[in-house]
Amino acid sequence: MSDTAQTRRYDLDVLRVGAFFLLIFYHIGMLYAPWWWHVKSHHTVTALTWPMGLLNPWRLTLLFVISGIATRFMGQAMAGRGEKIGKRLVAERSLRLLVPLVFGILVIVPPQSWIQMTELRLFHGSFWAFYRRYLSADQSFGVFLPTYNHLWFIAYLWLYTMIAALSWPLLPWLDRLLAKVLNGPGLWLVPALGFGLLRVTLYPANPETNIVWDDLYAHLHYGLAFGLGLALANLPRVWASLARHRHSSAGLALLISAFCVPLGFNLANGVPVSAFSSMARSAYAWFVIAALFGYARQHITRGSKTLTVLTEAVFPFYIIHQTAIVLIGYALKPLRLPLAAEFLLVISVTALSCLAAYGVARALPILRLPLGLKPLRARPATALSS
């Protein structure tokens, strides 16, 4: 496939949808895993540490790589229409990302903060009493308010997109560089080493904060992933190699996890146990991503009506899901239901909330942008075309 062919990349659509669904289930798991979260069930399921630990190293990195690919396709589509990429990309992505972010900060996220402060016994009162303090930027709770919580991904994605728009003339040079370094074994070694060295050198003193102005390691890590995606969009030989060696990528990921997990090496998001475990974690994450890209590229060549709907709906799902999980988890906690009953209720209410948000966004034009849908007069999507 040529770099300029405008064929829909259904493989990337599927991976993007799948990654967001994994994120939703991961946050449901946070109700029960033995780690701090905004609200916790009275049930603790320590067995979740293993599967969630295996998901954590790659789930968000995958999303940033796909976002970089999508951004490149979007810019190239703009160029094909004769538009100036820099200004148009800045304007379009600012509209699509900043409007949901601001709406989320003002409307979607505040219930999470109220419940968190209530759970920590730092606030006793109604949501509306808390909301007034939230909007006034009351910092007496010891956390920064107002906040974006799970919507940090949108803020970071906007930042990286703005940098990409400003540096667009340099992208052909990036293509040529990565076409060389991702050739042969470099396809596995270079990204794994890049991510690993960042984690070894920066993460211990600069762990992730999700604070956009104070998150050095995360910006370099996710920025690297986004930049990698920008170049991958135009490297058909790399995609062919990913598909051809998909079994090898999966085997390497399984080998690392089978070796590290029983020995207690840290594949989750805690402080690295050692330089070795940090490198192993980063290699494992990249091999999983390479395997997913390879299998999807090889086997997913056609779309469906369901995929079309999910591709549009997944952003509203993402915007609303964590607030739904926190609210239902908080409401169910005093009832002390059996684990299975509580879990099914959390899953059901979260799913219904996501569907309701998508339905409301489609039904009310004024809420399309705030809840993550394109305006009705927007051009057809080209973000995942190649």
In this model, does residue 303 exceed pLDDT 80?
yes
Condensed to tens digits (0 to 9), the pLDDT of residues 199-231 reads: 999 998 999 999 999 999 999 999 999 999 999
If you count them, how many residues does the chain have?
Answer: 386
Overall pTM > 0.85: yes
Phi and psi dihedrals of 274, rounded to 5?
-160, 170
Is the peptide bond between 204 and the residue preceding it cis, with omega within 30 degrees of 0?
no
H runs (alpha helix) in the chain: 10-29, 49-55, 59-80, 85-103, 110-119, 127-135, 152-166, 171-181, 186-201, 216-232, 236-244, 246-263, 275-299, 305-332, 339-363
Calculate mean pLDDT across residues 114-131.
96
What whole-number distance in Å separates Cα of residue 253 and Cα of residue 278?
14
**Beta-bridge partner residues of 107:** none
Q: Kindly report the number of other CB atoms within 10 A of residue 314's CB atom.
A: 23
Band of the pLDDT at 80, cuts 50, 70, 90?
confident
Mean pLDDT calculated for residue range 247-259: 93
pLDDT of residue 273: 58
Cα 336 to its chain centre, rounded Å, is 32
For 355-371, b/e burial (b = at least 16 CB within 10 A) is eebbeebbeeeebbbbb
Per-residue pLDDT band at 383 (split at 50, 70, 90) = very low
Structure token pair of residue 62: 């995958």
In whole angstroms, give the CA distance from residue 69 to residue 75.
10
- Coil, helix or strand for 114? helix
Domains of the chain, by residue range, sit at 24-55+306-367
Quote the pLDDT of residue 44.
96
Question: What is the average pLDDT across 298-312?
Answer: 95
CB 354 within 8 A of CB 321: yes
Those residues with Cβ within 8 angstroms of residue 9's Cβ, 6 or more apart along the chain or in another chain = 69, 73, 384, 385, 386
Q: What pLDDT score was predicted for residue 105? A: 98
**Average pLDDT over all residues of the chain:** 91
Query: Mutual orientation of helices 110-119 and 305-332 as an angle, nearest 10°?
Result: 30
Residue 122, phi then psi, degrees to nearest 5: -95, -10
Checking if the pLDDT of 87 tops 90, the result is no
pLDDT of res. 272: 47
Residue 318: name the closest of 20, 98, 25, 108 by CA: 20
Dump the DSSP string for 70-102: HHHHHHHHHHHTT--HHHHHHHHHHHHHHHHHH
The Cα angle at residue 257 between residues 255 and 263, in degrees rounded to 5: 110
Torsion sign, CA atoms 29, 32, 34, 40: positive
Summarize pLDDT for 257-276 with one digit per residue, the tens.
888 766 555 555 444 457 88
Residue 93 has pLDDT above 90, yes or no: yes
